[in-house]
Amino acid sequence: MTAMKSMNMIEAINSAMDIMLARDPGVVIFGEDVGYFGGVFRATAGLQKKHGKTRVFDTPISECGIVGVSIGMSAYGLRPVPEIQFADYIYPGLDQLVSEAARMRYRSAGDYICPITIRSPFGGGIFGGQTHSQSPESLFTHMCGVKTVIPATPYDAKGLLIAAIEDNDPVVFFEPKRIYNGPFTGYYDRPVEPWSKHAASQVPEDYYRIELGKAAIVRAGGALTILTYGTMVHVAMAVVEEMGVDAEVIDLRTLLPLDIEAIEASVKKTGRCMVVHEATRTSGFGAELAALVQERCFYHLEAPVERVTGFDTPYPHSLEWAYFPGPIRIGAAIDKIMKD
């Protein structure tokens, strides 16, 4: 029943879709190269063969069309799970997502809903250059009506994806592609550890859900709160262990709705807060987190909320590791915040 299996993140995501296709006849999966081939990252491998061509299929290269037909399918009663091949390519579909899917329940007063889960690999660290590395998550948190979910482990990826698919509102589900095959500590010059060595790669083979909107405390600590998500959870954890600082590391998992209780409780306890994300700094989600923390924990803060982020430039191909908010940047911020 609850047999466990070691899965990497792609396998866990594939398993979530496989289960949902079987459980809910309304689930349909489609996107560029998603059908016969199984996706450029293989997330949908085998699903067309198993569930048939009208449940899992390839699409024209039109992100506008992909999101647009998803909305129409929702009105029919389906539960579409489209893939956008890279988060960098979501913009042509943004109008359908923002002006339509995100507003549909509201503008129709509940007549029509859009239970769509848009999966998309995001983030850098794979020498993908500026068009295969972006982290646009903060945009979606500004658009009322969309939920934004980002897993950091195979276990979370499967449970959150199932919950996202079952959710009756549109969810953008960003998958940190750098850690599809193994948790990345930010040391690009060290060999990648496979997921099989990580506890969170033990994934139930069957159905389970992780509620959206709940953060995970991946390390309890008293000296400092680190708010992060996706790939950066692992990088932050590695730095914390290495520096021996007693940080509380919180994997937000859902950016919107945010687990404000977990954040407040932790910062009020530690008195120090740092945000780590890969996205460009200005108006990144770190801004919202910093604003919220200072609003709600002002009198508990011993130091300003620190933001450790990507720089406000496009993701540069050859200077990827100077751009990436790796151990040095995080370490320096920890030093600073602990001194303040």
Ligand X SMILES: Cc1ncc(C[n+]2csc(CCOP(=O)(O)OP(=O)(O)O)c2C)c(N)n1
* Contacts to a copy of itself by CB under 8 A: 64, 88, 91-92, 94-95, 98-99, 103, 106-107, 130-131, 136, 138-139, 141-145, 256, 279-280, 282-288, 290-291, 294-296, 298, 301, 303-307, 312-314, 340
Measured torsion, CA atoms of residues 323, 310, 123, 227, in degrees rounded to the nearest 10: 130
Judged by beta carbon distances under 5 to 8 A according to partner kind, the member of another protein, ligand X, a copy of itself, none in contact with residue 294 is a copy of itself
Binding span for another protein by CB under 8 A among 14-22, 95-103, 153-161, 238-246: 95-103
Report the site for ligand X in 90-129 (rule: CB under 6 A).
92
Report the site for ligand X in 133-192 (rule: CB under 6 A).
none
Interaction of residue 75 with ligand X, rule CB under 6 A: no
Residue 277 annotated among the catalytic residues of the structure? no
Map the chain to HEC letters. CCCEEECCHHHHHHHHHHHHHHHCCCEEEEECCCCCCCCCCCCCCCHHHHHCCCCEEECCCCHHHHHHHHHHHHHHCCEEEEECCCHHHCHHHHHHHHHHHHHHHHHCCCCCCCCCEEEEEECCCCCCHHHCCCCCHHHHHCCCCCEEECCCCHHHHHHHHHHHHHCCCCEEEEEEHHHCCCCCCCCCCCCCCCHHHCHHHEEECCCCCCCCCCCEEEECCCCEEEEECCHHHHHHHHHHHHHCCCEEEEECCEEECCCHHHHHHHHHHHCCEEEEEEEECCCCHHHHHHHHHHHHHHHHCCCCCEEEEECCCCCCCCCHHHHCCCHHHHHHHHHHHHHC
Binder of ligand X out of 22, 50, 53, 61 (CB under 6 A): 61
* Closest distance of CB 11 from ligand X, Å: 23
Nearer to ligand X, 56 or 163 (CB): 56
Judged by beta carbon distances under 5 to 8 A according to partner kind, the member of another protein, a copy of itself, ligand X, none in contact with residue 57 is another protein
Identified catalytic residue from 132, 198, 234, 277: 132
Nearer to ligand X, 85 or 201 (CB): 85
Binding span for another protein by CB under 8 A among 3-11, 89-97, 148-156, 241-249: 89-97
Interaction of residue 57 with ligand X, rule CB under 6 A: no
Judged by beta carbon distances under 5 to 8 A according to partner kind, the member of a copy of itself, another protein, ligand X, none in contact with residue 112 is another protein
Report the site for ligand X in 14-53 (rule: CB under 6 A).
32
Judged by beta carbon distances under 5 to 8 A according to partner kind, the member of ligand X, a copy of itself, another protein, none in contact with residue 125 is none
Q: Annotated catalytic sites, by residue?
A: 132
Positions touching ligand X (CB under 6 A) are 32, 61, 85, 89, 92
